Amino acid sequence: MHGRFLAEAMLDTTTTLDDVLFPPIETYDSGTLQVTDLHTIAWEKSGNPEGAPVVVIHGGPGGGGQPAYRQYFDPSKFNIIQFDQRGCGKSTPHAELRDNTTQAMVADIEALRVSFGIETWHVFGGSWGSTLSLIYAQTYPDRVISLVLRGIFMCRKSELHWFYQDGASHIFPDAFEPYREHIPKAEQANLIKAYYARLTSDDGDVRRAAAKQWTRWEMATSRLFPDPSYLEKAEDLDFAVAFARIECHYFINAIFVEEAHILNHASIIAHIPTVIVQGRYDVVCPARSAWELHKVLPNSSLVMVADAGHSMGEVSIARELVKATNAL
Ligand code: STX
């Protein structure tokens, strides 16, 4: 029950991401799965086809998979399965909000498992990927061998208010200003609602302008040491539109579950070995959620990383994630 706390007093500024991750690899297979009349999901496999299966659940929602995820697993030991959740990445239709709910995404994960003939698998997810991993595990507890989770997000009202309205704004007032000022004063009291109206506008220019500001805010705050190149993600308007529209749609709908759903149903997954890796200075998904989750999961360990924010691309977060997958 008691987690590990990393107490390194000194910042490690010489180790790079390449030093802690496995080398980049190509996929050995990829394809699509039509999950409804409307939605088709893109998937890929890498690593060892005979290895232990692990499914990677990406963030956002709407963030899409990334080749870099493959590097968090020993490719000789794992069969690494990634997919793009409804409406994002290479899944189609792009940025589609209809028939796009948490329950639908859980069903897609299960449909992928069945289509691959996999009995049980490890589940790996950060941020919204932790949210969806947990709800998937609570829906299909017998299919999940273990959970490796990062930057815990349970999408409660307090978490949304903190990041999108008033909280993180106290730490990043400079990055917050353009996000807030994109919205007229009269609507600033509820920024998620104001962004939702613009992100679902009939006018493509209005949608894209809102998506860019929304995405910049999240990219600017993801790391303890902001990385200017990370902000470029918001300039990729195809990425930004899917990311912002799908996130905002999920948040307006409280991710289609009751408040504190994950904590309320923790007993269902209490038996699953779980590692939680959390950056102490994560302002996107503050550490309180990781702490509260850890306390209701008796088989969890919490690694509180002393020198990191939210991103899986931060060296000390990546190091702990690799340690966790190596120990599976
Ligand atoms: N959303 C946090 C999240 O899941 C509240 C997230 N933030 N950035 C990302 O995901 C990407 C790295 C996937 C873009």
Rounded CA-CA distance 196/183 in Å is: 11
Confirm if 279 and 309 have CB atoms less than 8 A apart. Answer: yes
pLDDT value at residue 239: 97
Rounded CA-CA distance 156/247 in Å is: 14
Rounded CA-CA distance 221/205 in Å is: 25
pTM attached to this predicted model: 0.96
The DSSP element (H or E) to which 113 belongs, if any, is: helix 102-116
Q: For residue 127, which atom of ligand 1 is closest to its CA?
A: 4
Mean pLDDT across the stretch 218-244?
93
128, 134, 222, best to mutate for ligand 1 pocket (most atoms within 8 Å of CB): 128
Rounded CA-CA distance 233/20 in Å is: 23
What are the tokens at 180?
A: 């807030």
Predicted confidence (pLDDT) at residue 9 exceeds the cutoff of 50: no
Predicted confidence (pLDDT) at residue 21 exceeds the cutoff of 70: yes
Predicted confidence (pLDDT) at residue 13 exceeds the cutoff of 80: no
Rounded CA-CA distance 134/57 in Å is: 10
Distances (CA, A) of 201 to 85, 144, 280: 23, 39, 37
Distances (CA, A) of 117 to 78, 120, 121, 123, 174: 16, 9, 11, 16, 49
Rounded CA-CA distance 137/19 in Å is: 32
**pLDDT tens-place string over residues 38-65:** 999 999 999 999 999 999 999 999 999 9
Q: For residue 131, which atom of ligand 1 is closest to its CA?
A: 4
- Answer whether 325 contacts ligand 1 (Cβ < 6 A): no
DSSP character string of 58-87: -STTTT---GGGGGGS-TTTEEEEEEPPTT
pLDDT value at residue 10: 57
Mean pLDDT of the chain: 96
Mean pLDDT across the stretch 281-287?
98
Predicted confidence (pLDDT) at residue 8 exceeds the cutoff of 90: no
What are the tokens at 138?
A: 């609570």
Which pLDDT band holds residue 253 (cuts at 50, 70, 90)? very high
Which pLDDT band holds residue 227 (cuts at 50, 70, 90)? confident
C-alpha 218 to ligand 1 mean position (Å): 7
Confirm if 26 and 326 have CB atoms less than 8 A apart. Answer: no
Let me know the angle formed at the C-alpha of 146 by 144 and 151, rounded to the nearest 5 degrees. 110
Q: Where are the domains of the chain?
A: 5-154+258-326, 157-255
At 321, is the secondary structure helix, strand, or coil? helix
CATH architecture of 5-154+258-326: 3-Layer(aba) Sandwich (3.40)
Read off the DSSP letter of residue 298.
Answer: T
- Answer whether 151 contacts ligand 1 (Cβ < 6 A): no
